[in-house]
Structure 1
Amino acid sequence: MSDLLAALLLGIIEGITEFLPISSTGHLLIAEHWLGARSELFNIAIQAGAILAVVLIYWRRLWGMLLAFVGRDAPAAFDPLGISTTPAQSRDYAFKLVAAFAVTAVLGLLVKKLGWELPDDIRPVAWALVIGALWMVGAEWLAARRAARDGERVAIGWTVAILVGVAQVVAGVFPGTSRSAATIFVALLAGTTSRAAATEFAFVVGIPTMFAATGYELLKLCKGGGIGSEDWAALGVAFVASAITAFVAVKWLLRYIQSHRFTAFAVYRVVLGMALLLWLPAGR
């Protein structure tokens, strides 16, 4: 298989799995066993391609938050689900996004300083897929009970914002957990019982997180003199493929969660995780 075709396939896999709660990093680690390992910059850059899709989908929401954040009069923004947002609400939402990102940035840099690297063994990924599925089902069930008792809550509280920031780092340390799953279901457990509101915050907070991670890796590569060793053509192909497929996947998911729970994704995770545990040879 040519290198460009392999990069295209990896970009498509990333775009489909980045925002579905099934773990993009886990799927990429599995795919790279057959398509060849890639640099850390490649993996983070194609995640940034997927995040670009979210920027395009939420651009009105983001513009309203930006204007409100700097104290300008902003028109009422709205998200892809048609939820109207006042300038004051946009400003509050923006501050909570900054808080979540700050927590992720500080903890993420600490993890980097400790020398953490992605594992080569797929078996921990398989276990994370299975355990994460049980966590998803339990969290959504508890959130549904709370919503039935107290009414659906769409607000993002400060506790939710801080815990979402922590969840992003946990998902990065344990591939197979899924950043979107960790952040969505932490938000549901922490008090935001609306699937739509929890999903939106999880998606939007990924924008500064993944763009910052890409910039960090690119700067490190430049300082280390390894910029010339990167296959930029393959990275470009994967980036574009990731952005296009992620745009389609996010649009579909936003419609899906309006009338469905996340149970189907949990079942998929269990089936994939168990298949990997049963079929992988020891040590893989």
Structure 2
Amino acid sequence: MDFIRAIILGIIEGVTEWLPISSTGHLIIAEEFIKLNQSAAFKEMFDVVIQLGAILSVLVLYFHKLNPFEKRKSEREVKYTWRLWLKIIIACIPAALIGFALDNWLNAHFYNFVFVAIMLIIYGIAFIYVEKNWVPQHEFSVVDIDKLPYRTAFLIGAFQVLSLLPGTSRSGSTIIGGLLLGVSREVAAEFTFFLGIPIMFGASLLKIYKYFGHHSITFTQLGVLLVACLVAFGVSMLAIRWLMGYVKKHDFTFFGKYRIVLGVILLIYAGIRAIIH
């Protein structure tokens, strides 16, 4: 049964990691109803490490753009690739420093059902406000990722710090940040994908290090983790392609509405559960 649950959780991770609706939040919600028959420590590690599958999909889909050693690239293109990686690293500094320092504290205080619901609603409202009130009054000054200024990249990274709170969404916070900074939807979404590579690799390695510092892993647990990662990889490939096609013709208002509706449903459920128990 845990392998079936791993497949379901892998699908949820693959869909929600790149859409601005919070993958961590959805996994916390899913595990309210789909519980792995494993230790709490393993499940905590599982929720983060499963993201490795999603990361690999970005590396595959954007291998040419992200590979500075591509022989077919001109000298100018190689230079742009190195600059892109520098921007990614600069943008990841705020979340890496704060996330490393506050990882245990955040887990202890904010990884719960109600908090996720509240953050879904708050950022849903933010998406609608930004799309309906801010974007129409401001032109996009950055429509090409190669021309994304270093300062703007760093500020988008600063917005990424907000995603350390579950239910916020890493892609949601960075896309909102990008829109407020004058970055087009396509560039904001694409840069968000790239920011996930070092951040999620780092978060996964940190969780693995902490887990193996106190626990061992069984063959079944390893299998469950690998299955979930593989499913997340395949589904992420589809989700990324779909999102990039979607933002060329639509804004992010739909995702804002989805977040609000889901958040309200979850708060109602939490209230009913509290009354019953």
TM-score where L is the length of structure 1:
0.85
What does residue range 106-185 of structure 1 map to in structure 2 within 5 Å? 106-112=97-103, 114=105, 116-117=107-108, 119-141=110-132, 142-147=134-139, 153-154=143-144, 155-172=147-164, 174-185=165-176
Distance change (3 Å), C-alpha of 1:113 and 1:268: closer
Distance 2:142 2:138 in 1: 8
Q: For structure 1, which runs of at least 5 residues remain unmatched after alignment? A: 78-84
CA distance in 1: counterparts of 2:242 and 2:231, whole angstroms: 17
Change (3 A) 1:112 1:278: closer
Offset, 1:158: 2.5
Change (3 A) 1:119 1:278: same
Distance 2:111 2:35 in 1: 12
The C-alpha deviation readout for 1:41-78, integer Å capped at 9, x for no partner, is 211111111111111111101103xx49xxxx87159x
Distance 1:201 1:229, change over 3 A: same
Kept in 1: contact 2:174–2:192 (CA 8 A): yes
Distance across 2 between alignment mates of 1:89 and 1:132: 33
Identity %: 34
Equivalent residues of 1:74, 1:87 under 8 A apart: no
Give the corresponding residue for 1:22: 21
CA distance in 2, matches of 1:201, 1:211: 16
Answering whether residue 240 of structure 2 is matched by residue 242 of structure 1, we say no
Q: Can you list the C-alpha shifts for 1:155-191, whole angstroms capped at 9, x where unaligned?
A: 322332222323333212x211111110111111123
Shift, 1:36, TM fit: 1.3
Determine whether 1:232 maps to 2:230: no
* 1:160 and 1:191 in contact (8 A); partners too: no
More helix per residue: 2
Whether contact under 8 Å (2:10, 2:50) holds in the other structure is yes
Report the 3-state secondary structure (helix = DSSP H, G, I; strand = E; otherwise coil) of the residue aligned with 2:192: helix
* CA positional deviation for 1:151: 5.6
**1:32: how far off?**
0.4
Q: Is the Cα–Cα contact under 8 Å of residues 117 and 167 in structure 2 kept in the other structure?
A: yes
Normalising by structure 2, we get a TM-score of 0.87
Partner of 2:260: 270
Size of the alignment, in residue pairs?
A: 266
The residue that corresponds to 1:43 in the other structure is 47
